[in-house]
Amino acid sequence: MEEMLFESIGLTAFVVVVVLLAILLLFTAVKRVPQGFEFTVERFGRYTRTLVPGLHFIIPFVDVIGAKMNMMEQVLDVPTQEVITKDNAMVAVDGVVFFQVLDAPKAAYEVRQLEVASLNLTMTNIRTVMGSMDLDELLSKRDEINARLLTVVDEATTPWGVKVTRIEIKDIAPPRDLVDSMARQMKAERDKRASILEAEGERQAEILRAEGEKQGAILAAEGRREAAFRDAEAREREAEAEARATNMVSEAIAGGDVQAINYFVAQKYVDALGKFATSPNQKILFMPLEASSVIGAIGGIAEIAKQAWNDGDDGGGGGGNGAERPRSPRPASPTPGSVSAARPGMRAAGSVPASGSSAAEVWSKPLPNEAD
């Protein structure tokens, strides 16, 4: 009995060991690769193949997993480092690097510590690229710096099966005294621009003002010229009218009509009195100022008007015989107050002789005192 018991126990233990070994071999042979990763397989220490995401079987104890490579895009922080520029300015620079593994076997077996190598390569090239530039270029051409760094680092990491997608400079920090100098320089430059713009504005304003004054002077001169032309034309027409009037008076005098010269003299006399009366100076006028002469001239004007009227009547209603109607002189009406206003020894300007003498005769005949 005891022997059979021992045999059954030994058989059970063997079965258990076999089952455990089978389970161990199963777990060793089956490999699950997550998404975004690739595993390299080594057989006796030599690379054989790459396992992509999914479930895979390998030969236990013969094939082993060599490297588990992350195929997603990764980011590295570039620590702050000091860089001396081309014009000997010390600046502190940091940045970031984005890269992605494209070939897992190369990334696993071509370089050791891929991230450290990529970081050191980026820092070295940052010092090289930025050290060849002036401070002004360094601060104003970040895109150019990023492009140059990307080109150099990507070309250097291509044999490693790595693609550098982007390199960005995060911060460039010059020394404090250099920042203050740059601020003063910027302020001086802006003051210079403001002064130039202000001077340009004043210059343009002066030009426009001078142009406006020039145009105004031209227009004023044209206005004065036009006014002079108009004044000359008016004076010319006035002279022509006066010449015609003088010519008519001369013809009337030549024709034997003495009343025309009375009209002419009376008009000038009345105009002179009007100018006297309207002058702005203080004045005292002693009347009648030879009022008899004025009234006699007015009587001559009345005789001319009567003669013209009678000529018109004779021409219109005289029939065909052409005989001239005899005219009877009308006595001139005395002007109210003229007699009382006359000087002693002077005949009243409005009084007319009873015999029916005309106003022209009153004008032409001397007064008794004057004859004496």
pLDDT digits (tens, 9 = 90+) for 322-372: 334 444 444 444 443 333 333 333 333 333 333 333 333 333 344 434 333
CB atoms within 10 A of CB 133: 19
Rounded distance between C-alpha atoms, residue 66 and residue 241, angstroms: 130
What residue has token string 């001319």?
304
Position 145 scores a pLDDT of 92
Mapped onto helix, strand or coil, the DSSP state of residue 40 is strand
> What share of the chain in percent tops pLDDT 90?
32
Residue 106 in contact with residue 160, Cβ under 8 Å? yes
The residue among 39 and 291 whose pLDDT is bigger is 39
Tokens standing for 195? 């002064």
Enumerate the β-bridge partners of residue 56.
31
Between the CA atoms of 202, 206, 211 and 215, what dihedral angle is there, to the nearest 10 degrees? 120
Position 156 scores a pLDDT of 92
Strand duo 90-101 + 74-84: pairing: antiparallel
The residue among 348 and 261 whose pLDDT is bigger is 261
Q: Which of 145, 33, 135, 44 is nearest to 92 (CA)?
A: 135
Position 345 scores a pLDDT of 38
Rounded distance between C-alpha atoms, residue 137 and residue 144, angstroms: 9
60-110: pLDDT as tens digits:
888 889 899 999 999 999 999 999 988 888 899 999 999 999 999 999 999
Rounded distance between C-alpha atoms, residue 310 and residue 305, angstroms: 9
Overall residue count recorded for the chain in this entry: 372
Position 317 scores a pLDDT of 44
Residue 63 in contact with residue 42, Cβ under 8 Å? yes
Q: Which of 232, 313, 301 is nearest to 266 (CA)?
A: 301
pTM over the 0.75 mark: no
How far is C-alpha 358 from the geometric centre of its chain's CA atoms?
A: 84
Tokens standing for 338? 């003229």
User: Would you place residue 157 in the very low, low, confident or very high pLDDT band (cuts 50, 70, 90)?
Assistant: very high
Position 353 scores a pLDDT of 38
Rounded distance between C-alpha atoms, residue 295 and residue 311, angstroms: 24
Position 10 scores a pLDDT of 72
AA identity, residue 263: Y
How far is C-alpha 116 from the geometric centre of its chain's CA atoms?
A: 59
47-58: pLDDT as tens digits:
999 999 999 988
Q: Which of 105, 54, 96 is nearest to 74 (CA)?
A: 96
User: Would you place residue 274 in the very low, low, confident or very high pLDDT band (cuts 50, 70, 90)?
Assistant: confident
Handedness of CA 139, 144, 147, 153 (dihedral sign): negative
Position 297 scores a pLDDT of 56
Determine which of 135-139, 167-171, 286-290 has the lowest per-residue pLDDT on average. Answer: 286-290
